[in-house]
Structure 1
Amino acid sequence: MASSTSGKGSQSAAGTAKSRTGRTSGPAKKAAPARKPPAKKAAAAKRAPVKKVAAKPAPSPTGGVVRLVRAVWLGCAHAVGAVFRGIGQGAKNLDPAHRKDGVALLLLALALIVAAGTWSNLSGPVGDLVTMLVTGAFGRLDLLVPILLGVMAVRFIRHPEQPDANGRIGIGLSALVIGVLGLVHIACGAPGRDEGTTAMQNAGGLIGWGASKPLIFTMGAPLAVPMLLLLTVFGLLVVTATPVNAIPQRLRRLGIRLGIIAPWGYPRTESGGEYDEGYGEAAAGAVADRHDPERWRSRTGAGAGPADPSGAAEEEALARRRRPRRAAARPGMDRGMDAVDVAAAAAAALDGAVYGGLPPSPLVADLTQGIAVGREEGVEITAPVPPAREERPVAAAAPADAAEPPHATTAAASGTLSVPDLTKAPPQAQPLPPRAEQLQLRGDITYALPSLDLLERGGPGKTRSAANDAVVASLTNVFMEFKVDAQVTGFTRGPTVTRYEVTLGAAVKVERITALAKNIAYAVASPDVRIISPIPGKSAVGIEIPNSDREMVNLGDVLRLADAAEDDHPMLVALGKNVEGGYEMANLAKMPHVLVAGATGSGKSSCINCLITSVMVRATPEDVRMVLVDPKRVELTAYEGIPHLITPIITNPKRAAEALQWVVREMDLRYDDLAAFGYRHIDDFNQAIRDGKIKLPPGSERELSPYPYLLVIVDELADLMMVAPRDVEDSIVRITQLARAAGIHLVLATQRPSVDVVTGLIKANVPSRLAFATSSLADSRVILDQPGAEKLIGKGDGLFLPMGANKPVRLQGAFVTEDEIAGIVQHCKDQMAPVFREDVTVGQKQKKEIDEDIGDDLDLLCQAAELVVSTQFGSTSMLQRKLRVGFAKAGRLMDLMESRGIVGPSEGSKARDVLLKADELDGVLAVIRGEAHP
């Protein structure tokens, strides 16, 4: 090792020496290129000292202290941030209602502190801080700041469900405060900041100075004042949500409420400060009814009823009328009304005088003058007072030879003032198409709608629970495990299911979420998971998962909504509550027909009960009449005897088919009237009758009255289709095609949604569908033309597909108990007895007696009779060939024709003799069909 090393060293030394002396040999020349890099390094080393290296500054003695302080500061900041993040994470689990209450209580606490500092000159640091901030900013108006904070706190507590108005109120208050403080500052001499803090606090403060100083500098004080006035008015209009064109109406309404001014047509007393007692109550009631359309509709339609003969009823009516006007203005309060108040409120409502600021029509002016005269003469005017709510009159057809209605004679005999009903039509005169009888009630009947107190209220719905948070965590874990860039951004909780909104990352297909349906169901331990991709109107995928804690949706909660009170249409019905927590209602007149289908126990019967109960609560028998078909005999028996029925509840499928044919005839008669008078819809025709635009020709004995809506409900369509499929389908198709404009609407319900029950023609003409849980995907496609119903969980969970919608709305159907139904039915029965149409029941009985031996072969028998008479050849084999029936059926048809005298007796293998001629065929066919007596 040593020798070799020394050898290498001697060789390198020798090579170096040779290179220095310049004597080289062959081997030395070959090794020269390998030694060039060291030469470059040596050259670089020689050039390096040429550069001047900057001297490093001496370390500062305070650098270590600064770094220590910085480390301590960052450590404290991280610690405090971690604490607040932990508090914030815990605050996420709070109920949103608690958060809003916390904001309201914080504002209330600030109001108390500011009030203590400004009103009582609180001493100490808190008082000095309040004086410096509040008084310095608001100046002389610092006393109003606690009141403003208190009002905002009360609003947060009373209306936590209206967060949309907070932005508007904030903008309006800001503009109002700035404008007022600017005006106050100018009124106090517009002191500047150089005059001292005291001068600023005695004026408009810093806010007033900042609002007025730029305006005074740019345009002067004369123009600054109008600008600030406009800003103040703008803020006031924004806070009160009043457009400029509605200011006169709002001021008049405020004056009516405060009793400062009188509505059009209402006299004042000589004192000038109060209404007459009766008129003040009517005006206040009219104002209250403006906010309660149900009462408004009942008042405007009310007429003067017969006087109550009992003294107790009169004393009770007088006591009710002597109640304070302030109590009369409360919406929803049950109180007594006399006939003059009702007529005055109705007249004011019809002409728009109370709220529109329009002068009354001559008819209303004459009526008001007559009322005033009656008041001055001291004529007692009474009207029956119902126990629950105001009465609603049901217009009735008087006999043709009666000169005046019976109640008018009674009123005149008792010395009371008779007030005309402005909503009834005058005598009519125009040619009319003939018809037997209109749907109408008999006698002078006053009908009171059932009170909503008969329906129970439900508890408040939940917006969030611990189960929802657990599901969100499970969904997040599923996305992480399968490496899907998606996250749950929110959810909306319904009574039955909760829809979780999932937002996808960039370049993530929606199909990756739908492919995880089974994995999601496994993670949340629920077999019923429905994925909506995407949610209509949102850039998110919806995952609907059933709630572990389901909620009940009561019918009373849906009917008590403000939307239900504002819409007085009699065909508005309650459906339930959707997945977003909002209540669902639908107008049967706009559907205009609906198919309700679902398996046994899915909630179909409860839905039908809610539809019928909604109509009974909102409509009188004059508004809506019903035909109920119940082949199962147990579903609709609770409604037997209600005055809305036009015929007893039909339980025989054969009679149901005949009732549908009667509905078709009624539809045709209504269309005859529409065509004769030139109207396109039954609503326009009815309104023309009420307005007196349609007049009967002289000498006409027909009594023309508004047509009620006709609601036909078939509880089980499958039973009807099994008995008479052709007749039922033809009638349903014709009704659904044409009956909308005639005011006839159809509700079909079935628990067997197969193609032989819900045929293509029926589906094509019934645009609205309501599907409950089905047993198979095929049934869902029959009802909705798309999947989804097979994944519902039953017990009212349904999919509602209204007319014109592409995707159904998931909802939990409303529920009404049997006790509630019994209470409403009993109330309706107590009001009046049902008035049935005789032609419906008589026609059914007559047809059954004539065609009992024919059975379902009526159509074949008519075809066979026409064939035999036209050919004058009575052969059984010909009937087999022409009618495509078997030998037994052809032989039975030949026997039926023999019993009715069409063909002669059998003569063996020969053809039977034909006993009728072609001109006698029509009469025989009429007898066979039951249209004529033999």
Structure 2
Amino acid sequence: MRRRQDPPKTEVQPEPAVEPSPARQDGLALTLVGAAIIVALREWFQLSGALGSVIHHVTAGPVGLLSVLVPIVLVFFAVRLFRDSTRGANRSLVIGTVLLILAITGILHIVLGAQSPLESIESVEAAGGIVGWLVGGGLSYLLSPWGAVPILVLLAIYAILYGSSTSIRQILDRYSAAQPTERREPLGERLRRRRREAIEAEDEPYEEPYEIEEAPDLPAPIATPKRRSKPAPASPSTAVIDPPEAPEPTADTEPESPTVFEQPELSPSLAYELPDMGMLAAGAPHKERSEVNDSVVATLTNLFEEFAVDAQVTGFSRGPTVTQYEVELGPGTKVEKITQLSKNIAYAVASADVRILSPIPGKQAIGIEIPNADRETVVLGDVLRSSVANKQTHPLVVGLGKSVQGNYVVANLSRMPHLLVAGATGSGKSSFINSMITSILMRATPDQVRLILVDPKRVELTGYAGIPHLITPIITNPKKAAEALEWVVEEMDRRYDDLAAFGHRHVDQFNEAVHAGHIQPLPGSEREIKPYPYLVVVVDELADLMLVAPRDVESSIQRITQLARAAGIHLVLATQRPSVDVVTGLIKANVPSRLAFSTSSLADSRVILDQPGAEKLIGQGDALFMPSGASKPIRVQGAWVGESEVEKVVDYVKTKMTPEYREDVTVKAESKKQVDDDIGDDLDILLQAAELVVSTDFGSTSMLQRKLRIGFAKAGRMMDLLESRDIVGPSEGSKAREVLVKPEQLPEVLAMLRGEEPPGGAYESAIDEEPVDGTQVLPAAREAEEYWDEDDDDSEDAWQLTGR
């Protein structure tokens, strides 16, 4: 096959690593131990036989005074050979040791002023040896001793860094993490600065909901000729996604005096100090390249040659879990030739979890993601101490983990604004929930963020009981959880009432005006206006809620996800059963951000991401993150936080402040009116059926099927319940049942079905005059009116009701 002509360049193909046999490895190690013993007897204890002088000249002649360290170096390398048999594991250490010996012996020769070996070999052996004479003497002749010593010192530093596989940037990052400048800032000033910068950041109309740390410039991983590629619109290490700005709600009515209610807000005068980042452990340094990567590159190159595919591996990006190898195609080569080789690639690299990304976003290359044989653990402490996290001052910034390129990734919940998390058991979903909550505890005070934690499984979130950020105790009863979601809807409506009454479009603008003293209670109101904190609702298992009250939960989630962004309310839904009956179409349509961990099937991946990919993840925190507005997900390794670290943070925040719970969050589940047992969970449908039958004066089962969109069995049961309560008459065959209740008696009938006291004359007075206090007299009737408008072309949806 004819290949495209490239400029002549030196082509260096990596050779597959050939490992020595174990017997040769052990023999070489034992030889080094024996040599170390012989040299130690002569140089340390002056115990030697006839060969003593020969041994001394052999060791002290080349390295001079460093001969006393030769036994230690030999034993060290012998231990390395016993523990690690791979050549690549010792190559960098050997090179670093040789460079260090060259630097030290050269310095010794210059400092001690040794003579030439031709003049006095004893003088040379008492200084830096022949090696020191060659290195130090040569540099002194060329640069003078004043210029040679600094060069040799720099060479020694480089030898230490090279031998330990450590970069100067890593050392600086560790020092910055241990000495954060933010700690030296006074607490009050730091809180005011964070609040001010977070409010200013909300004014930007477009910003990505997540950020990836920019990678440093690295040398080319493979010395092969690169093909020309189109310039990328953005930095390859940082993906920028601009989500469309959601329309903000406005009010259709004139501002009224707000109802007096208690806001979920702590007093800002209370002292609270954020936990120290030292409570979170640090992880191991990131590996940028290993011998395994070079071996995989050679394997892929040979594979392309065997199948006659005009393609080259031009580079790779090593992440903590997988490595993404970049493949560029020759002219006239189809992308399908690479994707069709997925099984052959998996066979060649001995891994079943191979994922092909065609193309890599922003690059003219195909990405082949292959799991690392030596996985790295990404710890939450490193993510929160990274530069990309320190740049973000918003209290809702959480640490996600590391990308395939090895860069830290953080996400802002306020930009998402809601998140769906799903994955099979053991895939890392619960670990992400713990990392997210811990991130909020580390970065936000209780007056900035309040939490509602729903844990039907009773095991995942119980460790956070008693933290001051909670607005109610951890909810474990699914029925109470459904009522808590209804309370969140009411809280959202109250916040929008305030925003409309005082002329603001976002809760951040409202809080800024409150802090500045620009908002005062309306005349005649006794309410004390306070800033609103962000409210984050975390549901650890959505499937349990959908089993108990699917209609109520789905309706509440739909309203929250559609309207709650500007009110500062954000929802995080997690489930390990991502089926269509749990993650319904309405929930998916209104939760734009998704985080998919490993799934058991392709169908589950399509439910979460609307595309395949999650079924090929390898588990243990490996995830695909699709933020709002993105067309393709990014692969990240989720951050891990240990139980001991969570306990430290939780114990710390408990000592700083006690929680102030709201008693009305789940009170409905306890003080709900007595409903007859035969009604069960069908009260809402029964109310709509009674309203429909009485208002139309037509008792037909088929009408209930059509209008309420329920099955025949459910419609027949609703009609039987209405008959047992003397609302309709008995069945008359194919004829419609007789309606025994007049429309004027409808409020009393609805109150009876709810288990409430009849309203008496409230209905007659309500139809003659407008309500004064702004309350809705007939909430059930209003729902029926919305239903009747549903078949109209001019019906109003949730966005139109807010004036958008």
Trace 1:446-595 onto structure 2 (pairs within 5 A).
Answer: 446-595=271-420
Q: 1:541 to 1:910 in 2, by over 3 A?
A: closer
1:657 corresponds to 2:546: no
Query: Offset of 1:621 from its aligned partner?
Result: 1.5
Name which of 751, 756, 770 aligns with 2:576: 751
2:493 equivalent among 654, 668, 674: 668
Q: Structure 2 vs 1, CA of residues 466 and 880 (structure 1 numbering), >3 Å: closer, same or farther?
A: closer
2:263 aligns with: 438
Q: Using the TM superposition, give the Cα deviation of residue 900 of structure 1 relative to its aligned residue in structure 2, in angstroms.
A: 5.4
Q: For 1:293-304, what aligned pairs fall within 5 Å after superposition?
A: 293=182, 296=185, 298-300=187-189
**1:789 CA displacement:** 0.9
The alpha-carbon distance between structure 1 residues 811 and 96, as it changes in their structure 2 partners (threshold 3 A), is: farther
Greater relative contact order (Cα 8 A, min sep 6): structure 1 or 2? 2
Is contact 2:466–2:654 with CA below 8 Å preserved after alignment? yes
Report if the CA contact (8 A) 1:534-1:540 is conserved: yes
Aligned pair count reads 599
Structure 1 residues 876 and 569, CA gap change in structure 2 (3 angstroms): closer
Shift of 1:874: 5.5
Note the alpha carbon deviations across 1:185-235, whole angstroms, 9 max, x for none: xxxxxxxxxxxxxxxxxxxxxxxxxxxxxxxxxxxxxxxxxxxxxxxxxxx
Paired position in structure 2 for 1:360: none
Partner of 2:181: 292
**Deviation string, structure 1 residues 796-850 (Cα, Å, up to 9, x no partner):** 1111112222222112212222232233223223333322222222222233644
How big is each residue's C-alpha offset from its partner over 1:718-768, in whole Å with a ceiling of 9 and x where there is no partner?
232333333222222221122111111111112222233223332222221
What is the percent sequence identity of the aligned residues? 62
The amino acid that maps onto 1:726 is R
Q: For each residue in 1:414-440, what CA deviation from the matched residue of structure 2 results, as whole angstroms up to 9, or x when unmatched?
A: xxxxxxxxxxxxxxxx99623411112
Change in 2 beyond 3 A, CA 1:289/1:912: same
Task: Tell me the SS of whatever aligns to 1:810.
Answer: strand
Question: 2-side partners of 1:803 and 1:925: how far apart?
Answer: 42
Quick check: 1:790 aligned with 2:615?
yes
CA distance in 2, matches of 1:692, 1:500: 57
- Following the alignment from structure 1 to structure 2, what is the Cα–Cα distance between the partners of residues 436 and 801? 38
SS of match in other structure, 1:672: helix
Which AA in structure 2 matches 1:567? Q
Check conservation: 1:293, 1:568, Cα contact below 8 A.
Answer: no
- Give the Cα separation in 2 of the matches to 1:535 and 1:906: 66
Which of these residues, 625, 631, 656, is aligned with residue 806 of structure 1? 631
- Alpha-carbon distance change, 886 to 489 in structure 1, aligned in 2, over 3 angstroms: closer
- CA change 1:877–1:569 in 2 (3 A) is closer
Structure 2 counterpart of 1:632: 457
Letter in 1 for 2:399: A
Q: Equivalent residue for 1:815?
A: 640
Matches within 5 A, 1:196-595: 292-293=181-182, 296=185, 298-300=187-189, 433-441=258-266, 445-595=270-420
Give the Å deviation of 1:527. 1.1
1:346-383 Cα offsets, whole Å, 9 max, x none, are 899999xxxxxxxxxxxxxxxxxxxxxxxxxxxxxxxx
CA contact (8 A) 1:631 1:715 kept: yes
Aligned partner of 2:559 in structure 1 is 734
- Cα pair distance change 1:646/1:298, threshold 3 Å: same
Q: Which whole-Å CA distance do the structure 2 matches of 1:602 and 1:348 have between them?
A: 34
Structure with higher Rg: it is 1
TM-score (norm 1): 0.56
> Do 1:112 and 1:146's aligned partners in 2 also have CA atoms closer than 8 Å?
no
Contact 2:452 2:538 in 1 (8 A): yes
Residue 682 (structure 2) aligns with: 857
Structure 2 residue matching 1:462: 3-state secondary structure:
coil
Counterpart of 1:762? 587
Cα distance change of structure 1 residues 538 and 434 upon mapping to structure 2, 3 Å threshold: same
Does the CA contact (< 8 Å) of 2:698 and 2:736 recur in 1? yes
Alignment correspondent of 2:218: none
Q: Structure 1's 894 and 820: CA in aligned 2 closer, same or farther, altered over 3 A?
A: same
CA distance in 1, matches of 2:294, 2:322: 14
Quote the Cα distance in structure 1 between the aligned partners of 2:543 and 2:188: 44
Contact 1:95 1:464 in 2 (8 A): no
Post-superposition offset of 1:712 = 1.0
How far off its partner does 1:519 sit?
1.2
Q: In 2, are the aligned partners of 1:858 and 1:929 still within 8 Å (CA)? A: yes
Deviations 1:595-626 (A, max 9, x none): 11112221111111111111122212111111
Q: CA RMSD in A?
A: 4.5
Deviations 1:844-888 (A, max 9, x none): 223364465422322331232123323446677876787676776
User: 1:710, CA displacement in angstroms?
Assistant: 0.6
Say whether the 8 Å CA contact 2:451–2:538 is kept in structure 1: yes
What residue number does 2:744 align with? 919
Letter matched to residue 836 of structure 1: Y
Task: Say whether the 8 Å CA contact 2:106–2:136 is kept in structure 1.
Answer: no
Q: Which residue of 1 aligns with 2:8?
A: none
Paired AA for residue 597 in structure 1? A
User: For 1:501, what is the secondary structure of its paired residue?
Assistant: strand
Deviation for aligned residue 1:703: 1.6
- Consecutive unaligned residues in structure 2, runs of 5 or more: 1-11, 18-85, 114-126, 198-254, 760-804
The residue matched to 1:807 in structure 2 has which SS?
Answer: coil
How much has 1:711 moved relative to structure 2? 0.5
Q: Is the 8 A contact 1:300 1:349 kept in 2?
A: no
| Among candidates 684, 703, 710, match of residue 509 of structure 2 | 684
Match of 1:646 among 471, 477, 496: 471
Separation in 2 of the partners of 1:163 and 1:458?
A: 16
SS in 2 for 1:577: strand
How big is the shift at 1:707? 0.9
Amino acid aligned to 2:627: P
Tell me if 1:719 matches 2:719: no
Q: Which letter maps to 2:603? A: A
Alignment of 1:165-176 (within 5 A): none
Contact 2:16 2:294 in 1 (8 A): no
Aligned twin of 2:670: 845
Q: Which moved more, 1:558-567 or 1:430-439?
A: 430-439
CA deviation profile, 1:415-469 (whole Å, cap 9, x unmatched): xxxxxxxxxxxxxxx9962341111236963223333333232222333333333
Alpha-carbon deviation of 1:770? 0.8
Question: Structure 2 vs 1, CA of residues 875 and 495 (structure 1 numbering), >3 Å: closer, same or farther?
Answer: closer
Q: In 1, distance between residues paired with 2:757 and 2:97? A: 77
Alpha carbons 2:107, 2:136 under 8 Å: kept = no
Give the partner amino acid of 1:661. E
Are 1:575 and 1:586, in contact at CA under 8 Å, matched by a contact in 2?
yes
Aligned-partner residue type, residue 539 of structure 1: Q
Structure 1 residues 642 and 349, CA, compared in 2 at 3 Å: closer, same or farther? Answer: closer
1:840 is paired with a residue whose SS is coil
Structure 1, gaps ≥5 residues long:
1-81, 136-141, 167-286, 303-345, 352-429
**Residues 695 and 517 of structure 1: is their aligned pair in 2 closer, same or farther, counting only changes over 3 Å?**
same
Whichever residue aligns with residue 293 of structure 1, its letter is E
Find the aligned partners of 1:792 and 1:686 in 2 and give their Cα distance. Answer: 42
What secondary structure is seen at the aligned counterpart in 1 of 2:328?
strand
Counterpart-to-counterpart distance in 2, 1:539 and 1:443: 53
Instruction: Give TM-score scaled by structure 2 length.
Output: 0.65
Task: Kindly provide the amino acid, as one letter, of the partner of residue 586 in structure 1.
Answer: A
Deviation at 1:132, TM superposition (A): 7.0
Q: Which amino acid aligns with 1:743?
A: G
Describe the SS at the equivalent of 2:427. coil
Q: Is the 8 A contact 1:847 1:930 kept in 2?
A: no
Deviation readout 1:4-50 (Å, 9 max, x if unpaired): xxxxxxxxxxxxxxxxxxxxxxxxxxxxxxxxxxxxxxxxxxxxxxx
